[in-house]
């Protein structure tokens, strides 16, 4: 496997970025590599860019000194992409990626079509943070790095409940815990905790849900009107589709989140029979076999009708 240390040692000015609407694995990956560079290559210049950081991950950057929302004007020697399956998913950071001296990508999305000059993509890993652990030397696991990696692993493995959890995932998590990180607090803060607004939004979304495909698919729509009425933010939608997924008898859960005029973000979760990443790719999105998403224009009714056709044909594939 490629050597993360070698990549970094060859660059003086490094930029780190992940996908738009960053989640726990994306944030954890970026913060872990930042601390790795600061610890072992203090002479390097490092810039970490992510879109607005969800509040639940503030514990990884409590002083807001690591992650920034500004793109540097100067070109970097190395652009390191983390937890991102395609350059367009970098959002505004794609322009910096295109003018970088060298590019590298570490990811675990099965939909990743290697696009950087150096790529480490391991779809069987639970998370990009698990891949990064394998790229780092074990003596590099200072608490700041261990906490960031642990957050990414618990987030993308559903705290070890998803089928992407392997014996190696559990072994790595145990090694991270041995560094003394407050793992129970990280689970509560970054995965389980909900604000009152999130609880109300979840309640409405569950109440509005409907069954399709003879009860094998559950779907709900969250409108901009609902978001405005509750004073909810985009990050408050987090976790809704996962709550739909655990409905008894359901194979696929779908959330349509209205983001603009006739614009929706479609999030999908699968229990077993359907590879939702294949459906997401059809519409320019991506993800994993059991968790994927995409953006779509049109009315909710049009999008649902189209998606049900794809899900019907995707069963047992």
DSSP 8-class letter at 213: T
79-133 residue pLDDT tens: 999 999 999 999 999 999 999 999 999 999 988 889 999 999 999 999 999 999 9
Q: What are the φ and ψ backbone dihedral angles of 175, each rounded to 5 degrees? A: -65, -40
Structural domains in the chain, CATH included, are 4-192 (3.90.1640.10), 196-314 (3.10.310.30)
Cα atoms in the Cβ-side hemisphere of radius 13 Å centred on 45: 8
Nearest in space to 294 (alpha carbons), one of 302, 304, 308, 283: 283
Tokens of 243: 């709550």
Q: Please provide residue 173's backbone torsions phi and psi, each rounded to the nearest 5 degrees.
A: -60, -40
Alpha carbon separation from 217 to 38, 254, 286 (Å, rounded): 46, 8, 19
180-238 pLDDT, tens digit per residue, is 999 999 999 999 999 999 999 999 999 999 999 999 999 999 999 999 999 999 989 98
Please tell me whether the overall predicted TM-score, pTM, comes out greater than 0.75 for this model.
Answer: yes
Neighbours of 300 (CB within 10 A): 15
- From residue 133, give the alpha-carbon distance in Å to each of 34, 113, 128, 258: 14, 22, 9, 36
Per-residue pLDDT, 315: 58
Number of DSSP helices (H) and strands (E) in the chain, helices first: 12, 12
């Amino acid at each position: 496997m490629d050597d993360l240390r070698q990549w970094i040692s060859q660059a003086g000015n490094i930029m780190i970025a992940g996908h738009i609407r960053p989640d726990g694995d994306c944030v954890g990956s970026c913060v872990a590599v930042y601390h790795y560079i600061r610890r072992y290559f203090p002479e390097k210049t490092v810039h970490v860019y992510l879109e607005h950081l969800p509040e639940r991950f503030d514990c990884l950057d409590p002083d807001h000194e690591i992650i920034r929302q500004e793109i540097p004007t100067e070109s970097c020697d190395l652009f390191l992409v983390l937890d991102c399956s395609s350059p367009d998913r970098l959002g505004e950071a794609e322009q910096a990626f295109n003018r970088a001296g060298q590019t590298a990508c570490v990811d675990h999305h099965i939909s990743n079509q290697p696009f950087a000059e150096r790529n480490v993509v391991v779809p069987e890993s639970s998370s990009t943070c698990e891949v990064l652990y394998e790229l780092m030397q074990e003596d590099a696991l200072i608490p700041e790095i261990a906490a960031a990696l642990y957050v990414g692993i618990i987030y993308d493995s559903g705290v070890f409940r998803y089928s992407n959890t392997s014996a190696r995932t559990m072994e790595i998590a145990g090694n991270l815990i041995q560094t003394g990180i407050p793992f129970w607090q990280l689970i509560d803060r970054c995965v389980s905790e909900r604000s009152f607004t999130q609880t109300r939004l979840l309640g409405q979304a569950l109440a509005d849900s409907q069954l399709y495909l003879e009860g094998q698919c559950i779907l709900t729509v969250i409108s901009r009107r609902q978001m405005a009425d509750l004073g909810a933010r985009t990050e408050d939608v987090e976790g809704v589709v996962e709550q739909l997924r655990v409905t008894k008898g359901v194979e696929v859960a779908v959330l349509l989140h209205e983001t603009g005029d006739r614009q929706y973000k479609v999030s999908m979760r699968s229990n077993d029979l359907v590879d939702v990443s294949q459906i997401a790719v059809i519409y320019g999105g991506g993800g994993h076999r059991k968790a994927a998403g995409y953006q779509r224009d049109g009315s909710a009714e049009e999008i649902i009708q189209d998606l049900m056709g794809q899900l019907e044909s995707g069963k047992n594939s």
